[in-house]
Amino acid sequence: MTAAAAAAAAARGHKGTGYDEMVARSLGVSWPSAIGQANAVLAGKEEEIQAVAEMLEEKKTIVQFHVNESFRRAEDRKQGIFTVGVVIYKSGKKIGSFSTKSYHGEVVIPQLPEFSKN
């Protein structure tokens, strides 16, 4: 962990960062300097921050893999790509579902032979 990473919550105005301050100081970085570094790193990354917050809320505990996935999702959103759920009904009865991506509000649904038999 870097001092800037430890100070990220404080840089965003959150309280309860005593342990984070201890981590930054143990790395030889003053707390105000760590907060300044965090602000510099976080500048202009509101969508990424929101995506990480959503992932944390969903998973409760996250690791770097989840942070990277959150950043990828934020980049997809910037490009108009969203994950959507598709539910398939036939004669009013649900026969299947799957997840796919939409692009600027459009979803391409391939021919699904496994559902056409039902």
Q: Count up the domains in the chain and report the number.
A: 3
> What pLDDT, on the 0 to 100 scale, is given for residue 49?
92
User: In tens digits, what is the pLDDT along the chain, a chain of 118 residues?
Assistant: 899 999 999 999 999 999 999 999 999 999 999 999 999 999 999 999 999 999 999 999 999 999 999 999 999 999 999 989 989 898 999 988 888 889 888 888 777 666 666 5
Count of CA atoms in the C-beta half-sphere (13 A) of 110: 7
- Are 73 and 86 in a shared domain? no
Task: State how far the Cα of 14 lies from the Cα of 48, in Å rounded to an integer.
Answer: 17
Q: Which residue is it, tokens 């299947």?
A: 96
- Are 57 and 90 in a shared domain? no
pTM above 0.85, yes or no: no
Question: What is the domain range of residue 106?
Answer: 81-116
